[in-house]
Amino acid sequence: MREQDPKERIKNFDEVPYGYSEAEAVAEALRCLQCKNPPCVKGCPAEIDIPGFIKAIAEKQFSAASAILLETNNLPAVCGRVCPQEDQCEKLCILRHKAKPIDIGNLERFAADWKLKNGFGQEKPAIAQVIGHKKVAVIGAGPAGLTCAADLAKMNYNVTLFEALHKPGGVLTYGIPEFRLPKDIVMQEVEQIKNLGVDIKYNYIIGKIKTIETLRNQGFKAFFIATGAGLPYFMDILGEDLNGVYSANEFLARVNLMKAYKFPEYDTPVEVGKRVAVIGAGNVAMDSARCALRLGAEKVYIIYRRTENEMPARKDEIYHARQEGIEFHLLTNPIKIIGDETGNVKTIVCIKNELGTVDASGRRRPVPIENSDFEMLMDTVIIAIGNGSNPLLLDTIKELKLTRKNNIEADDAGATNIPDIYAGGDIVTGSATVIAAMGAGKKAAKAIDDFLKTSKS
């Protein structure tokens, strides 16, 4: 895939890979063996007809290709960009034994983008919400909520999607940066979902403005809770309250949701110093590091307590980060942050680790090496070590069963201990992938349909 040159792209927020041209897409699609019993589909949580849409691209039937995608996947342009295809569909592609697997992700992106560019507006007008059909409330307009709402609307339910923020998309909007997932793309795909008849209410925090109980009284017959993992973890070390220390959530929300990278045209500021440390090595950490670089930082470090092998980020993201000049301090853990007299970050003190015995996660436990602590000059520290479950809504549903980590206890179909409440995505699993959340939204939509068909009220 052709990409923006690393030296150039660190000065802008434009998308890094250019995407396939028509000729490139057709050439790649023609490599597909069109397996009778395609293994790639088994790797896809959204169960997309992968050979089907690739065949359509090979035959230059781009509109048909996108239609096949949209049958099962309501956010194909998003998925084509952010799914970890290398661990899912592409990992199972027969061709991996001979040559490279088919680049399914980029083909998906191509077909979905083609539709957004060429096909938008040609489809039938928005289906009006059918009065008399059962009302379903979906809470949270992230990947799980959007998927569930879209599938339920396709089944002709009267769906209202309640979103706490002022924009839809959840992590797709506030978390993943523009250069990896352009916000226009997200908004256009959400527009398609609205065209299915989904009503989205913004600034609407269920648990605050209304409770599940009041919605029940307003005639909602089933609920899908998809509020995500939205409570940032901090490290509980000295100096985390200093100015210049951000949770990755705050940093990314400022940059992406509030467009601080266009400050002062946009009013929301973000302060990024010359030297930036990002703690953690997941996709969120890579996103934070690459944003910091684009906002003018001279040196950006990833500080991670284990080794490269254990990094949770996608290989692609680590590769892109290295390409852009981000430095990795591995087997390193911060122990305190030291500030100056004005309350700003001055240095970060870290300790070196070595790998010990295997822990509960199946990975070798990092063990601090005595007297190995060292200090680095730093202006900004971004903490990207994960998120927990947000209690805001859950506290208002006292009977709802939670796990030890305060996630919602739900079965594979999203059913909870309360018959009309379903849940899915990060609020059930803890931080996971976009596609896993979408898969949960799909399954829950089916389960809610079954529930409403059999329930009497």
Binding site for other proteins (CB under 8 A): 164-166, 202-205, 208-210, 230-232, 234, 240-241, 243-244, 246-247, 249-250, 253-254, 257-258, 263-271, 342-343, 390-392
The minimum distance between CB 190 and other proteins, in angstroms, equals 17
CA dihedral 211, 216, 217, 218 (to 10 degrees): 90
The minimum distance between CB 427 and other proteins, in angstroms, equals 13
C-beta closer to other proteins: residue 61 or 188: 188
- Pairing of β 220-225 and β 135-139: parallel
C-beta closer to other proteins: residue 5 or 341: 341
Q: Please tell me the number of Cα atoms within 13 Å of 271 on its side-chain side.
A: 10
The minimum distance between CB 66 and other proteins, in angstroms, equals 29
The minimum distance between CB 249 and other proteins, in angstroms, equals 5
C-beta closer to other proteins: residue 254 or 442: 254
Instruction: Measure the CA–CA gap between 405 and 424, rounded to whole angstroms.
Output: 15
The minimum distance between CB 257 and other proteins, in angstroms, equals 8
The minimum distance between CB 201 and other proteins, in angstroms, equals 9
Neighbours of 356 (CB within 10 A): 11
Task: Give the pair of three-digit tokens for residue 188.
Answer: 């256009």
Task: Give the pair of three-digit tokens for residue 85.
Answer: 């295809």
Q: Which of 16, 9, 29, 13 is nearest to 110 (CA)?
A: 29
Helices 183-195 and 143-154, packing angle to 10 deg: 30
Instruction: Measure the CA–CA gap between 323 and 7, rounded to whole angstroms.
Output: 9
CA dihedral 386, 392, 398, 401 (to 10 degrees): -20
Instruction: Measure the CA–CA gap between 133 and 370, rounded to whole angstroms.
Output: 66
The backbone torsions φ and ψ at residue 191, rounded to the nearest 5 degrees and listed phi first, read -60, -40
The minimum distance between CB 336 and other proteins, in angstroms, equals 15
Q: List Cβ neighbours of 213 (8 Å cut-off, separation of 6 or more).
A: none
C-beta closer to other proteins: residue 194 or 259: 259
C-beta closer to other proteins: residue 142 or 368: 142
C-beta closer to other proteins: residue 61 or 268: 268
The runs of H, that is alpha helices, within 236-303 are 248-252, 283-294
- Which 3 state secondary structure label does DSSP give 167? coil
C-beta closer to other proteins: residue 392 or 418: 392
C-beta closer to other proteins: residue 164 or 281: 164
Helix (H), strand (E) counts: the chain: 18, 16
The minimum distance between CB 384 and other proteins, in angstroms, equals 12
The minimum distance between CB 423 and other proteins, in angstroms, equals 17
Question: Are residues 166 and 203 in contact, defined by beta-carbon separation less than 8 angstroms?
Answer: yes
Neighbours of 370 (CB within 10 A): 8
C-beta closer to other proteins: residue 74 or 390: 390
CA dihedral 447, 148, 316, 24 (to 10 degrees): 110
Task: Give the pair of three-digit tokens for residue 453.
Answer: 């068909």
C-beta closer to other proteins: residue 107 or 384: 384
Alpha-carbon Rg of the chain, whole angstroms? 23
The minimum distance between CB 253 and other proteins, in angstroms, equals 5
C-beta closer to other proteins: residue 271 or 310: 271
The minimum distance between CB 230 and other proteins, in angstroms, equals 4
